Amino acid sequence: MSDQIPTSLTAGASLSLILSFSAYLPSAGWALRWTLQGPGTTRVSVEGAASGDAWSLDLTPAQSLLLLGRCPWQLWMTKDSQSIIVGAGALLVEPGAGTVRKDEQILEALEDALLRLAADDEAEVWISDRKLVFKDPAKIQKMIGVYRARIRAARGGSAFTAIPVRFL
Least confidently predicted of 22-31, 44-53, 153-162: 153-162
Confidence of residue 108 (pLDDT cuts 50, 70, 90): confident
Three-state helix/strand/coil letters over 76-120: EEEECCEEEEEEEEEEEEECCHHHHHHHHHHHHHHHHHHHHHHHC
* pLDDT at res. 156: 66
Residue 168: the pLDDT is: 75
Type of residue found at 26:
P
Residue 53 CA to residue 124 CA, distance in Å, equals 50
CB 15 within 8 A of CB 6: yes
Q: Is the pLDDT of residue 120 over 80?
A: yes
Residue type, 116: R
Model pLDDT, residue 160: 64
Residue 99 phi/psi, 5° resolution?
Answer: -65, -50
Cβ atoms 70, 90 nearer than 8 A: yes
Question: How many residues are there in the chain?
Answer: 168
- In tens, the pLDDT along 50-105 reads 999 999 999 998 888 778 788 899 999 999 999 999 999 999 988 776 666 777 88
Amino acid 70: pLDDT: 86
Identify the pLDDT of residue 100.
63
pLDDT tens figures, 131-164: 889 999 999 999 888 888 877 777 666 656 666 7
Q: If pLDDT is split at 50, 70 and 90, which confidence band does 3 have?
A: low
CA 51 from centre of chain: 27
Encode 105-135: b = buried (16+ Cβ within 10 Å), e = exposed.
ebbebbbebbeebeeeeebebeeeeeeeebe
* pLDDT in the model for residue 158: 64
